[in-house]
Structure 1
Amino acid sequence: MKAAVICFLIGVASSVAGTVTLNIPGVGLGVFALLFSVGNLCSLLSVTFLIGPKNQILTMCAKERAFATFLLLWDNSVASLVFCILQFLAFLWYLLSYVPYARTGVSKACSSICC
């Protein structure tokens, strides 16, 4: 569990660092793409620590995870920032699907905030 949390935090930090580089003149999109991709790979690896690589691959396209997997893998250069945010949220939803009752809890918390 510790390795999963550490790997996830490294992934988020790398993704955030990549997004921050978009505002630094002269850095370029290459640094953003590298940091954001490394962040996503580390985040995906964190799930591997929870359930193992074989189970992760087998369950990625399960009915309850198909939409999150689709958003995670979708590439669109025109709206990259929007899709980066969606990709992070999709991964978070995907990750929560492996924690018992986590998605239910998050759904209830969001509905109580919004309504």
Structure 2
Amino acid sequence: MDKLRRVLSGQEENEELGLTAQVLDASTLSYSTRVKWFAIFFAGGILCSILGTALLFLPGGIKLFAVFYTLGNISAISSTCFLMGPLKQLKRMFEPTRLIATIVMLLCLALTLCAVFWWHKKGLAIIFCILQFLAMTWYSISYIPFARDAVIKCFTTCVS
């Protein structure tokens, strides 16, 4: 569209864009599109997690619970890629302040599925899902300034 505007206004450049610039130009999304896809992925993640929790109470539903809960968390995490881009998201996930929460979260995602499908340990799968939730919460509040400090202070006040 920009090229058409340049041609019509008589400002066409003779140089062709490089391959990287062409790919980036073709793959950029508008702000409203980014927000829409963020909302779709985030809502899909919540829906999968709720559906997984509902399926937990069916006979043999532990496998469906583990899969849907894990997919829900993956969808919720990947939703932010639409807002900031996948590379920036990965860089921010592995910053020193979030490194431990990210590793624990990703490890629990994998271990939940291992516990259900390979080890056949239902209780262990539930524990890993709880750890997924805690790691996701700790990871998420790391984006709010001073939220971790407030949670730690609140927790230590309640315990002592």
TM-score by length of 2: 0.57
Structure 1 segment 29-40 matched on structure 2, within 5 A: 29=63, 31-40=64-73
- C-alpha deviation, 1:85, in angstroms: 0.6
- Conserved 8 A contact 1:47-1:95: no
Secondary structure, aligned partner of 1:95: helix
Alpha-carbon separation, structure 1, partners of 2:39 and 2:151: 18
1:102 aligns with 147
- Conserved 8 A contact 2:49-2:69: yes
- C-alpha deviation, 1:102, in angstroms: 1.3
Q: Structure 1 residues 27 and 86 mapped into 2: Cα distance closer, same or farther (>3 Å)?
A: closer
Q: Structure 1 residues 6 and 94 mapped into 2: Cα distance closer, same or farther (>3 Å)?
A: farther
Gaps of 5+ in 1: none
Structure 1 segment 62-73 matched on structure 2, within 5 A: 62-73=95-106
- C-alpha deviation, 1:48, in angstroms: 3.5
Alignment: residue pair count? 113
Pick one of 57, 63, 67 that aligns with 1:23.
57
2:15 aligns with none
- Conserved 8 A contact 1:60-1:69: yes
- C-alpha deviation, 1:62, in angstroms: 2.1
Question: Alignment RMSD, CA only?
Answer: 2.7
Give 1 or 2 for the bigger CA radius of gyration: 2
Query: What amino acid is aligned across from residue 11 of structure 1 in structure 2?
Result: G
Give the percent of matched residue pairs that are identical in Structure 1 and Structure 2: 36
- C-alpha deviation, 1:41, in angstroms: 1.9
Kindly indicate whether structure 1 or structure 2 has the higher relative contact order, using CA contacts under 8 Å at least 6 residues apart: 1
Gaps of 5+ in 2: 1-34, 116-120
**1:1-37 per-position Cα deviation (integer Å, ceiling 9, x unaligned):** x8768865653453243133222115461x2233113
- Conserved 8 A contact 2:66-2:129: no
